Structure 1
Amino acid sequence: MAHGQSERERASIAPPAVALTAEKNERRKVLVKGIVQGVGFRPFVYNLAESKGLSGFVTNSAAGVEIEVEGKSAELSAFLRELENFAPPLASITEMRVEKIPAKGASGFKILASKQGEKIATLISPDVALCGDCLKELLDPSDRRYRYPFINCTNCGPRYTIIDNIPYDRPNTSMKHFPLCSDCDREYHAPENRRFHAQPNACPDCGPKLSLHKPDRSEILTADPISEIVRLLKLGHIVAIKGLGGFHLACDAENDEAVKRLRARKHRDEKPLAVMVQDLSSAQKFCQISDEEARALCSAQSPILLLKKNGTGLPESIAPGNSQLGILLPYTPVHHLLMQSQLQAAVMTSANLSDEPIAIDNDEAFERLGQIADYFLIHNREIYLRCDDSVAAFWAGKLRLIRRSRGYAPRPILVQSKGETVLAVGGELKNTVCLLKENQAFLSQHIGDLENLDAYNHFQKTSAHLQRIFEAKPELLVHDLHPGYLSSHWVSEQPEMASLAVQHHHAHMAACIAEHRLQGEVIGFTMDGTGYGTDGTIWGGEVFIGNECHAVRFASFEPMPLPGGDAAIKAPWRTGISYLMKSFDGKLPELPFLPEHNTEMVCDMVRRKFNSPLTSSAGRFFDAVASICGEKKSVRYEGQAAIEFMQKADGLDVPPFEIDFGKVGHVRLMMIQPVIVSLVKAIREGESASRLSSRFHKTLVAYFTAMANEARSETGIKTVVLSGGVFQNYILLEGLVSALLKQGFEVFSHEQVPTNDGGISLGQALIGRAYLKGDYRGITT
């Protein structure tokens, strides 16, 4: 303002007034698909709209979450941006459609009741660990849920294992038997509350209850069952504890006698047992933990994580002969209450006899576990579906799922293609089923080995449950080529359904293609223990070129006799003798391990080709080499010889054994004979077990890298996928990935699904989709 100007003078030079027009409101219709029900998504939308001064509504429907929102353009844009980028922790948005519609002039924002009767397209959240807010309340003496063992909110707790149907509302869950008290009802209906529409919401007045029992089912009356359980565990007793997806068998992990007693009763001789500890700092007392491993351990999924022992603390009987421990943190309120006590570490293993599915029902637990557990900690909330703990490890720079179950299932794997619905039923071992609907593959929780009636019933129930909660009727059933698998048998009993048999290792390759949404052809290394080949032999060391539509068997390991078939898998010394015979022209060289075994019987079987099917299996190659090195006479669990031999290795800065190549027809062979001859020479020269193991791993890396280069030279393909249980060998995986990257390949290996047989149903489903489109041409050898 100029000094001395009057008001009149200032007014005379001011610009003329501009008439302002009020900005009109706009309205948007939004459909959000994904895991958006039962995870606090509607209150999040409500509070977000309120904060922007917007009007409208939000509701659950069978299609997802529907929103209509009205206000100024800038606020609408901010609302949509934050809706997508700041959703609740358990939510997962797979699709968001926004449509501009006429404004209605309404005021206020409302949460409407769920819609019914439409085609199901919503997703279900996995069960997840107790959140930090609930944990604070659990341990707060002033809170009304202090030490309540079923505390939860929209950000945590049970989901998949308590739901029977869609939409995810309380009447469709096992919480329908527990009417809300007035306090819980107020929380349930208050949008600003963390428990708004939390279907498992409950408190000590209205929710499930714990009780402590003897094996004869008689109840032990106590005001604090958890404190009593801790006392019993410290005395060396074994306790069956009902959790989220089934029962655990627990004992004091620091009590060697209790651990051994549990092993004996459970018939689990040497397979490692999982250990629960209170928190991350407790885990660091027993294991070496990187930052990435710490994040995985503390995540909402809370898997059992395989970690390297630091050499202190727990009895060797927990994981005999193993350099790793399976560690998990408390993920339910019961676990937290147990581990807040004087209990430092507890074995938490699936409540079953070996090879059976975990128990989930109280009556079932008493019947099946009465000879194992000394006491039972049960509750009266039903578990609708079995769901084991997930198992993971951090290898080659990525978190890898070894068993995909609680915390992950049934979150979908997004695939590249859309098309007809397919149900794939997996294989015999580590069975899972996969429902492929549009571009979402719903891989079930780990079902297990289909070797008994209980497991088979679990398989059937899971298959039906997936179809029901996602309202999907498959056009095709896909199963393994092996006619003897129970999953294949089940398909044969569905005559009204079209079906397709798929070769095991093609399914492995297709699973990796599906997970990474790859297009075009790839070089596929599929390495495992056993798979039925198209030529009637046992495959397991295969190199394919192709995709989900077609695969050429480009290379394999040299086929070798497997004396006794499955018997050789449990007694790897048989495989070692067989490989020696074939490598030394029918004669056995003198080696330290041979006098301990009935070599003549095995040699005679191999000479006469009696019950000695041919195999190209990489897993059996590992078994043979481990036994020749004198490492393992017999195995107590799948892959034990290979696992313990792997853990002898101390790096790959060693020369490989001699390698050579052959050919049968169009299939190249990675010859086994020169490796075995070179190995025997090294043993006789006194090389250590660690050096022998390191050299063998280096040999496999050399073979696979050579095959990849030859395949690229012939086809121009530079994309490599790695699948099969052998790639759970982290030394091989890390060494091969590094070698292939240096050679200029793009390398893809499993992260979201197991590389073992737990992932093949995904590959089967993708192949089935190709079949329905008329693109499937099988395998060329």
Structure 2
Amino acid sequence: GPPRPVTDADPVAEARRLLAHGAILAVKGLGGYHLACDATDPDVVARLRRRKSRGDKPFAVMAGSLDDIEHLVRLAPEERSLLTGTSRPIVLLRRRTDTLPGTEAPWPALAVAPGSPDLGIMLPYTPLHHLLLGLPGDPEGPRLLVMTSGNVSGEPIVTDDEEAVQRLEHLADAWLTHDRPIHVPCDDSVVRVVDAKPLIVRRARGYAPLPLTLPVPVRPSLAVGGDLKNVLCLGEDRRAWLSAHIGDMDDLATQRAFERAVTQLESVTPVRPELLAADRHPRYRSVRFAVRNASGRPVVRVQHHHAHVAAAMAEHGLDGSRPVIGVAFDGTGYGDDGAVWGGEFLLADYDGFTRIGHLAYVPLPGGDAAVHRPYRMALAHLRTAGIDRSDGLACVAACPPGELRVLEQQLERNVNCVPTSSMGRLFDAVSSLAGVCHRAGYEAQAAVELEAAALRASGGDTVAYAFAVRAPESDGGPVRADPSPVLAAIVDDLRAGMEPALVAARFHRAVTGLVHRVCVLARERHGVDTVALTGGVFLNSLLSSACAKSLGADGFTVLRHHLVPPGDGGLALGQLVVAAHVPDRIGDPD
């Protein structure tokens, strides 16, 4: 039944006592409910993971002060100021490898962020948080708390009290609530520092809906973003308002949250959209929303990777009079030829783009199944590269024999195999090939763990694998980056007994080298020397940093995201500027 109130005890002291004894609490905060538990207790963290069904996705940790985390993570001045500043985001911090658990200092359970090179840390941002962690003189409670959004993974954050009791009933042991209604749901923002500059991973509390200034005027319009990590954007003239992170549009609750976010954003901005902008994917729910709610207004469809590049341009104040080389690497984006794009080199401005290069196509066997099971991607890549898959490769061992037979037939007959040029899927393939991650319980898990492996590699090794860059099939067509030589070299190294960390590091250097080579080609052919690095793959700080360094050393101007996420959380901003830029390009919504 509904939770009974604790009448006589001080509710906060009682909450702290429960947390200290291994309870999971639903705590009502500023923008929704959090689920909180003692981050140092492995049993309760594992229990929360199971209840929330979130695989191995890292949890964020709230610490009372910087003193409680100094021994755990490396803290640069920029990271300290982000943690202690007014926005109070979750900051992704590299774990330290030079300290061991001591008796005094609090140490998070391994299950808090398994396989991740980072810990997501935030400091208290409401009086309630300070009370939960305890004031001087209070009895000892947990010094590190897991603070994760009150929802089942992928669903929107819960804000309503009655809904919290129903939807969090199987998640929480007790509720700590208050009587102020939450009008606008808002998750915690997530930020990391790359090369001493902030990179926003999730833009929400503390950042949204603060307007961004646009370098070009836009017509009053609504851009609906993508289907993963959905964020929408309203813009007019030279201002754009992005909503907070809404979530993945694959369930009804998120779609309702999306509709509420549109209404809420329209209520706090002067924008009355005359135009809607959406992705070109025929099955995106965000696109269906736009078409359904167009009411006679034009719906402009913007290619996914073009929108990513335009978002980077807009964020950096480019007026679009000169094109940039857009390097757009992600997991999935609908391509103009019906393939799944994701390893793209575009020559782009706001008016349009030319695809000047891409990763060579490989079959994506079974669509989404390949995303959740990186070993399928590894097997597809090996087959395409013509590499014999015998000799005990880890990705073969990870594939159940029955599934392996079906997969072979599928690839042979090309059944239910859409071609993909996705760099995200290549990271997945290499992660499984190297034996790092065969099953992804959350988006990009295989890539995150491959980056973690590369960071462990010894500094002495400088070997880089190399892609083959193939000439265009037609005059003026795109060059193709063929990963076959990379995969062959990886298999040779693995068969010679090389550790996964070195393979991972060499692969990162291969991708960095590829980006440099194709950008040099583009500069020679088109005279463009500004490069935008965008798409979710560039959340990988090792790759982002290495690419920026090698391009910068060769005289390129490099644009990276700081104000909006490089992933789909920044998509709507790009859609907005592309769609609103050229009024006469508006076709009927197809």
Q: Shorter-chain-normalised TM-score: which range? A: over 0.9
The letter for the 2-side match of 1:602 is L
Matches within 5 A, 1:112-511: 216-310=2-96, 312=101, 313-340=107-134, 341=138, 342=140, 343-494=142-293, 495-511=295-311
State the match for 1:197 in structure 2: none
TM-score (norm 1): 0.70
Match of 1:676 among 484, 487, 510: 487
State the match for 1:731 in structure 2: 542
Instruction: Give the Å deviation of 1:223.
Output: 4.7
Is 1:601 the counterpart of 2:406? The answer is: yes
SS at match of 1:355: coil
SS at match of 1:626: helix
Structure 1 CA distance, aligned partners of 2:50 and 2:430?
A: 30
Match of 1:618 among 423, 430, 435: 423
Instruction: Give the Å deviation of 1:259.
Output: 0.7
The letter for the 2-side match of 1:526 is A
Structure 1 CA distance, aligned partners of 2:379 and 2:349?
A: 37
Structure 2 CA distance, aligned partners of 1:365 and 1:302?
A: 24
Is the 1:240–1:351 contact (alpha carbons within 8 Å) kept by the matching residues of 2? yes
User: Aligned residues, how many?
Assistant: 561
Is 1:545 the counterpart of 2:347? The answer is: yes
Match of 1:746 among 550, 557, 566: 557
State the match for 2:462 in structure 1: 654
SS at match of 1:693: helix
The letter for the 1-side match of 2:435 is G
**C-alpha offsets along residues 90-143 of structure 1, whole Å, 9 cap, x if unaligned?**
xxxxxxxxxxxxxxxxxxxxxxxxxxxxxxxxxxxxxxxxxxxxxxxxxxxxxx
Structure 2 CA distance, aligned partners of 1:664 and 1:405?
A: 44
SS at match of 2:545: helix
State the match for 2:384 in structure 1: 582
Structure 2 CA distance, aligned partners of 1:686 and 1:613?
A: 34
Structure 1 CA distance, aligned partners of 2:398 and 2:299?
A: 48
The letter for the 1-side match of 2:281 is H
Structure 2 CA distance, aligned partners of 1:231 and 1:579?
A: 53
The letter for the 2-side match of 1:511 is A
SS at match of 1:562: strand
Structure 1 CA distance, aligned partners of 2:398 and 2:483?
A: 24
Instruction: Give the Å deviation of 1:419.
Output: 3.5
Is 1:644 the counterpart of 2:427? The answer is: no
Instruction: Give the Å deviation of 1:701.
Output: 0.7
Structure 1 CA distance, aligned partners of 2:62 and 2:11?
A: 19
> Aligned in 2, Cα 1:401/1:584: closer, same or farther, shift over 3 Å?
same
Structure 1 CA distance, aligned partners of 2:509 and 2:161?
A: 50
The letter for the 2-side match of 1:603 is E
**C-alpha offsets along residues 710-754 of structure 1, whole Å, 9 cap, x if unaligned?**
000011111110110000111110000000000100000100000
**C-alpha offsets along residues 556-591 of structure 1, whole Å, 9 cap, x if unaligned?**
000001111110100010110111111126x42424
Structure 2 CA distance, aligned partners of 1:409 and 1:309?
A: 28
Is the 2:156–2:254 contact (alpha carbons within 8 Å) kept by the matching residues of 1? yes
TM-score (norm 2): 0.93
Structure 1 CA distance, aligned partners of 2:466 and 2:55?
A: 37
Runs of 4+ in 1 over 4 A off after TM superposition: none
Query: Which stretch shifts more, 259-268 or 650-659?
Result: 650-659
* Larger gyration radius, structure 1 or structure 2: 1
The letter for the 2-side match of 1:675 is V
Unaligned runs of 5+ in 1: 1-214
The letter for the 2-side match of 1:345 is L
Instruction: Give the Å deviation of 1:409.
Output: 0.4
Instruction: Give the Å deviation of 1:373.
Output: 0.6
Structure 1 CA distance, aligned partners of 2:351 and 2:232?
A: 20
Is the 2:93–2:121 contact (alpha carbons within 8 Å) kept by the matching residues of 1? yes
Structure 2 CA distance, aligned partners of 1:453 and 1:331?
A: 31
Is 1:634 the counterpart of 2:445? The answer is: no
SS at match of 1:637: coil
Is the 1:388–1:446 contact (alpha carbons within 8 Å) kept by the matching residues of 2? yes
**C-alpha offsets along residues 238-284 of structure 1, whole Å, 9 cap, x if unaligned?**
10000000000001111111111111111122110011010111121
Structure 2 CA distance, aligned partners of 1:352 and 1:635?
A: 20
Structure 1 CA distance, aligned partners of 2:467 and 2:339?
A: 23
Structure 2 CA distance, aligned partners of 1:708 and 1:399?
A: 25
Instruction: Give the Å deviation of 1:464.
Output: 1.3
**C-alpha offsets along residues 394-438 of structure 1, whole Å, 9 cap, x if unaligned?**
112211110000000011111111242111000000000001121
Structure 1 CA distance, aligned partners of 2:447 and 2:398?
A: 20
State the match for 1:32 in structure 2: none
Instruction: Give the Å deviation of 1:652.
Output: 8.9
Structure 1 CA distance, aligned partners of 2:429 and 2:334?
A: 20
SS at match of 1:553: strand
Unaligned runs of 5+ in 2: 102-106
Is the 1:581–1:603 contact (alpha carbons within 8 Å) kept by the matching residues of 2? no
The letter for the 1-side match of 2:493 is A
Structure 1 CA distance, aligned partners of 2:181 and 2:49?
A: 28
Is 1:565 the counterpart of 2:376? The answer is: no
> Aligned in 2, Cα 1:464/1:664: closer, same or farther, shift over 3 Å?
farther
SS at match of 2:565: coil
> Aligned in 2, Cα 1:448/1:596: closer, same or farther, shift over 3 Å?
closer
The letter for the 2-side match of 1:217 is P
SS at match of 1:555: strand
SS at match of 1:690: helix
State the match for 1:712 in structure 2: 523
Is the 1:652–1:695 contact (alpha carbons within 8 Å) kept by the matching residues of 2? no
The letter for the 1-side match of 2:120 is G
Structure 2 CA distance, aligned partners of 1:370 and 1:596?
A: 36
Determine what percentage of the aligned residue pairs are the same residue: 38
Instruction: Give the Å deviation of 1:219.
Output: 1.4
The letter for the 2-side match of 1:435 is L
The letter for the 2-side match of 1:465 is Q
Matches within 5 A, 1:93-108: none
Instruction: Give the Å deviation of 1:760.
Output: 0.3
SS at match of 1:720: strand
Structure 2 CA distance, aligned partners of 1:541 and 1:652?
A: 29
State the match for 1:87 in structure 2: none
Structure 2 CA distance, aligned partners of 1:331 and 1:708?
A: 43
Instruction: Give the Å deviation of 1:605.
Output: 0.9
The letter for the 2-side match of 1:595 is A
Instruction: Give the Å deviation of 1:775.
Output: 6.6
Is the 1:390–1:406 contact (alpha carbons within 8 Å) kept by the matching residues of 2? yes
Question: Greater relative contact order (Cα 8 A, min sep 6): structure 1 or 2?
Answer: 2
Is the 1:414–1:440 contact (alpha carbons within 8 Å) kept by the matching residues of 2? yes
Is the 1:652–1:697 contact (alpha carbons within 8 Å) kept by the matching residues of 2? no
Is 1:512 the counterpart of 2:312? The answer is: yes
Query: Which stretch shifts more, 592-601 or 313-322?
Result: 592-601
